[in-house]
Amino acid sequence: MEKIKLEIVGLSYSQTQSGAYALVLGESGGKRRLPIIIGGFEAQAIAIELEKMTPTRPLTHDLFKNFAESFDINIEEVVIYNLVEGIFYSKLICKHNGQNVEIDARTSDAIALAVRFNCNIYTFENILSSAGILLDEDGELPESEIDEPVVAPIEEEEEYKAYSDEDLELKLQEAIDNEDYEGASKIRDELNKRNKE
């Protein structure tokens, strides 16, 4: 079976499950999206790596990467290979001493490691055709999906607008020190938005 390359296109609160997040993967060069519900810890692990934040102490996925690199193990790719009763199954394709080794993993953990090892994420046509959502020509969800959106939109943070850049920098460091990476991400977004203006 031919593999289809995926890219991370979104991460937001899940509208369907309280305390969970929706990770949206997009077909590379295509219009299909694959939404996956993941836990808060894994969402945070993915977000801080995408935002290039550095925690004060290594998180679990950082520890795994450090461990793997210490023993000359590299993750070559992540493959989402099955979907059973709404649960995605993934595997890490690793290379050690010139040999490929497959390791079973939860999809959320596999993606968190993929962003750290900067490796490709793949799936197969049968998974995209059964669980994927096709965007319309304008890149929007089709009308049939608007009634029940898969991903809740992220609301713009208004609370940080009143702070000066210096205060936001202090709040950002405080959030990172307290391992509040979700809050740190929102502060960084506000700072980035100001720098573009």
101 and 186 inside one domain: no
pTM: 0.70
Q: Decide if 155 is inside a domain.
A: no
pLDDT(104) > 90: yes
181 and 116 inside one domain: no
20 and 112 inside one domain: yes
pLDDT(98) > 60: yes
102 and 181 inside one domain: no
The pLDDT assigned to 135 comes to 75
Q: Decide if 158 is inside a domain.
A: no
Q: Which domain holds residue 185?
A: 165-196
pLDDT(155) > 50: no
Residue type for position 77: E
CB contact set of 105 (below 8 Å; sequence gap of 6+): 78, 90, 91, 92, 113
Mapping DSSP to helix (H, G, I), strand (E, B) and coil, where does residue 21 land? strand
How many folded domains does the chain comprise? 2
Instruction: Name the packing angle between helices 40-50 and 60-70 (round to 10°).
Output: 60
